[in-house]
Structure 1
Amino acid sequence: MHLPRRAPVDNARGARSRRRHLRSGLLAACLGLFAAGPAGANAVVDWNTIFEQVAPAAGAPPQWTRLGAMTHIAIHDALNAIDPRYRTYSVVPPANHNASPDAAIAAAAHGVLMSELSRPPETSLKAASRARVQAVYAAALAGIADGPAKSQGVAAGQEAAAAIISQRTGDGSATPHLPYTLAPGPGVHQPTQPDLTAPLFGGWGQVRPFAMNSPSQFRAAPSPLFNLRGLVYALNYLEVQALGAASVRAAAPDSERSRIARFWPGGGANGNAVARTIVANRGLDSWQHARLFALLNIANADAAIAAFETKYRYNFWRPLTAIRWASDGNRFTWSDPAWLPYLPTPPYPEYTCGLTANTGSSTGILRRYFGTDNVPYALTVTIPRPPPLPPETLTRSYATLSQAAIESVDARVYGGIHFRSSCVQGLRQAEKVSRFVFNHYLRPLR
């Protein structure tokens, strides 16, 4: 994949208060899914939407990917226990061929979501999310005629849910964080402003993968970026310093670059939403939907594991730390102790990029599933903002999946939180993950 550079500089300055407002809006966007209703197109698609509504209760985005993979594996396996069209992920007993597919889908999703959202610690958000799942499940079953087909479908879904829950017990996800003790130094990641949160998810790179042979199977190689005296580092540094500064972006909030920076973390990187948009009106049946969403979520989950394994292998510093550092020894860079990024810097190391890993794994699966990169789509995201500002709605359109993936690289540079080389490497790493998942799992039986 050719990934062109984009280097012109905006000449603008602005206030830091806009950055604080933007941070609040983007954080709220993560929870904005909770108020939405199901798509109503297909039971698999409907439960994909429900999963996203309750995913924030599971924790942070890495934990959402695990929940998504488990939910959609259960749905896929339940359907294929009724009518085997694709290889199942788990070993599940065959179900009656006349069992209700919709009952199986509902019971599979319900079983996983209720179990995983009951894991400690208990929170009010988890309780509300379980109530939401239970209400949707009851409504789904109420819409299916009572009889053997319904009960057999429920049994198939429950069996598939139990199988994946059992498989994932003790997978390492219960201890996502590890102590971070590296001392400050050139190139070394450190807690970043504004809240100086200690680096998180140090244990996620040790979670048992869903498909990969090990978390390190697709570890990204060391990058020329790591040579702080080199030209590659200087070019990456100068680009993000110029294009991702809070003062520059907030002074031109409606520019193309500022909109790209906000769109991707505000929902543009949501591979499930992209997939729902793409499959609408394509005439796929439940089995086809189930396979696509299972593959996509398995790839998302393993790409996150691979990214965090790489992050904590190298522990490379973020632009915020690098640009404020007094002297990195590179004659082409200059320190700015007051520099701030446009978007909040995540509390974990820089290399590789998690957002492009998610995007690359999603586009990689979609490209292989449909057999072409030429899959156009448009996605609209609404990002809540602090009062009195109204919610911000952004729509972006793409002619190809690669065009979208490349723009996700730009987004993290314009947001000021990643070096370009790291984002490109995130795409490449995720491409390897998605290829492995697609080639080895849920293959057609006929």
Structure 2
Amino acid sequence: MQMKRFNKFGIILILALSACSPKHDLQKLDAYFENGLSRYNRQLTEVIVADIFTPPVASRIYAYPNIAAYEGIRFLDSTKVSFVGQLNGLDTLPLPDNDKNYYYPLVSMVAFMNVGEALVYDLERVDQVEKEILQEARELGIDKEIYDNSITYGENLAEAILGWAAKDGYLRRTALPRYSVTDDPGRWRPTPPDYMEAIEPHWNTIRPFVLDSANQFDPGMPTTFDSSEGSRFYQEAMEVYETVKQLDTVEIEIAKFWDCNPNISTTKGHVMYFQQQISPGGHWMHIAAQVLEEQKADPVLAAETMSMVGIAVADAFISCWDQKYRSQLTRPETFINEYIDPDWMPILQTPAFPEHTSGHSVASNAAATVLTHLFGKNYAFVDATEVPYGLPVRSFSSFHQASQEAAISRLYGGIHYRPAIELGITQGQQIGQHIITKIRLQEK
């Protein structure tokens, strides 16, 4: 009888002691991981900018980590389904063990960071961010078993996502021939001031995420090159020339706000230096992040949004680059200097790739179409993306308005003819709508 009383007392004592020990404090953890994905994308952007990735490559870097983040967080909502079977080549991903407990915001973060780290040059910077977040999670008192389970599952997800990414043709493209410059007056050739060689001439060989092929939404060829003054092409070039000469203050601000050239070169005397900026895709990823923070979106919606926008932007660049190197059209700066005014300069530095279609028009409208689907037609927002790069905020009444402004900014900047802008808008909208139609992340 005494032994029984002792055992009962011992059990009570153990329960009391365990009640006093540190707990898995979900409230503190949830508060710490609130807006986590927006924060991770901003930190990834800092690395992308510093590493000077081109716009197409940057779009790929945003897409894969955000897909991994979604796959790591979706289990918080039992109605959400995987991208498996919906994205090209993504046939399987590891699932959580039903006999183990996880903290899915941590799973999501680890998956995002591990994938992101593998896609950039500055691996140490991404690794350091992850270590700091893990340290904070431990200090907040996360249960060790749950912590270990979450880390392992996040790493397994990342490994599987990276295995899928490795088969998209990214590495293979480097073995393909370089772009060949010819004497054809209508064909693109390097432009001032640094005459860079053509960027990513084989980007259309990258596996799309949702598109059936790189040319699924081909917008059609540009106006036929013709240097005679009465030709339609000459008139399109004249429009660029006259537009830049007559820009007002607001139009100049618009051109500079949407410049998003990752690496602008400036020459002073005999010295050339470079100024790094966010990419066009990065700009729209930041718009999405801002909206999610304004909405105080739950982590599942945040991951769904960032992954869908990332996919839209990535497929937009694959589609756009397919047409760029199909038409290989000369830029306005080259044509105007040769046939209209040898001293004319655009407002923006001409990017180092063919003209048709406008990458900003395609990517912006693909992203805006997805965001409109998620948040509505008349979602007004203030875009502060360019503040870190020395530019003021701009306000928009809708995602559509912002994407239209991004598109026309290329005419104001003097780097695109109007058809590349207008056809690029349609191309982007078709891509965005296709992605919305094809991907279903909600259980029927």
TM-score, normalised relative to structure 2: 0.79
Q: Rg: which structure is higher?
A: 2
User: 1:110·1:137 contact (CA, 8 Å) conserved in 2?
Assistant: no
Aligned position for 1:413: 411
SS of corresponding position for 2:295: coil
User: 2:113·2:126 contact (CA, 8 Å) conserved in 1?
Assistant: no
How much has 1:43 moved relative to structure 2? Answer: 2.0
Residue 341 (structure 1) aligned to one of 339, 346, 349: 346
Deviates more, 1:291-300 or 1:175-184: 175-184
How much has 1:284 moved relative to structure 2? Answer: 2.3
Q: Structure 1 130/425 Cα, relative in aligned 2: closer, same or farther at 3 Å?
A: farther
How much has 1:128 moved relative to structure 2? Answer: 3.8
Q: Structure 1 190/110 Cα, relative in aligned 2: closer, same or farther at 3 Å?
A: same
How much has 1:153 moved relative to structure 2? Answer: 2.3
Distance in 2 (alpha carbons) for counterparts of 1:201 and 1:343: 20
Distance in 2 (alpha carbons) for counterparts of 1:142 and 1:115: 27
Q: How does 1:207-356 map to 2 (within 5 A)?
A: 207-224=206-223, 226=225, 232-244=232-244, 255-266=249-260, 269=280, 270-326=283-339, 335-356=340-361
Question: RMSD of the alignment, in Å?
Answer: 2.6
How much has 1:434 moved relative to structure 2? Answer: 1.3
Q: Deviations over 1:146-197 (max 9, x none)?
A: 3333223223322221121011113222235741114122321111111111
Distance in 1 (alpha carbons) for counterparts of 2:36 and 2:165: 24
Distance in 2 (alpha carbons) for counterparts of 1:171 and 1:96: 29
How much has 1:83 moved relative to structure 2? Answer: 4.7
Q: Deviations over 1:245-287 (max 9, x none)?
A: 5xx66xx6xx001100100125695111111222224242111
Q: Structure 1: give runs of 5+ residues left out of the alignment.
A: 1-38, 118-122, 327-334, 385-390
Aligned position for 1:108: 111
Question: What is the one-letter code of the residue matched to 2:107?
Answer: A
Q: Deviations over 1:214-255 (max 9, x none)?
A: 11212221233656667643442122112235xx66xx6xx0
SS of corresponding position for 2:392: strand
1:155 maps onto 2:158 in alignment:
no
Aligned position for 2:44: 51
Distance in 1 (alpha carbons) for counterparts of 2:163 and 2:293: 33
1:86 maps onto 2:106 in alignment:
no
Distance in 2 (alpha carbons) for counterparts of 1:345 and 1:373: 33
User: 2:257·2:391 contact (CA, 8 Å) conserved in 1?
Assistant: no
How much has 1:50 moved relative to structure 2? Answer: 2.2
Distance in 2 (alpha carbons) for counterparts of 1:228 and 1:443: 50
How much has 1:427 moved relative to structure 2? Answer: 1.8
Q: Structure 1 193/281 Cα, relative in aligned 2: closer, same or farther at 3 Å?
A: closer
Distance in 2 (alpha carbons) for counterparts of 1:41 and 1:138: 16
User: 1:200·1:347 contact (CA, 8 Å) conserved in 2?
Assistant: yes
SS of corresponding position for 1:265: coil
Distance in 1 (alpha carbons) for counterparts of 2:191 and 2:35: 43
How much has 1:351 moved relative to structure 2? Answer: 0.4
Question: What is the one-letter code of the residue matched to 1:337?
Answer: P
Residue 360 (structure 1) aligned to one of 357, 365, 368: 365
How much has 1:359 moved relative to structure 2? Answer: 0.9
User: 1:103·1:153 contact (CA, 8 Å) conserved in 2?
Assistant: yes
Distance in 2 (alpha carbons) for counterparts of 1:51 and 1:114: 9
User: 1:75·1:290 contact (CA, 8 Å) conserved in 2?
Assistant: yes
Distance in 1 (alpha carbons) for counterparts of 2:44 and 2:60: 11
Distance in 2 (alpha carbons) for counterparts of 1:438 and 1:342: 35
Distance in 2 (alpha carbons) for counterparts of 1:206 and 1:347: 19
Q: Structure 1 83/397 Cα, relative in aligned 2: closer, same or farther at 3 Å?
A: closer
How much has 1:426 moved relative to structure 2? Answer: 1.6
Question: What is the one-letter code of the residue matched to 2:336?
Answer: I
Q: Structure 2: give runs of 5+ residues left out of the alignment.
A: 1-31, 85-91, 261-277
User: 2:313·2:366 contact (CA, 8 Å) conserved in 1?
Assistant: yes
Q: Structure 1 178/219 Cα, relative in aligned 2: closer, same or farther at 3 Å?
A: farther
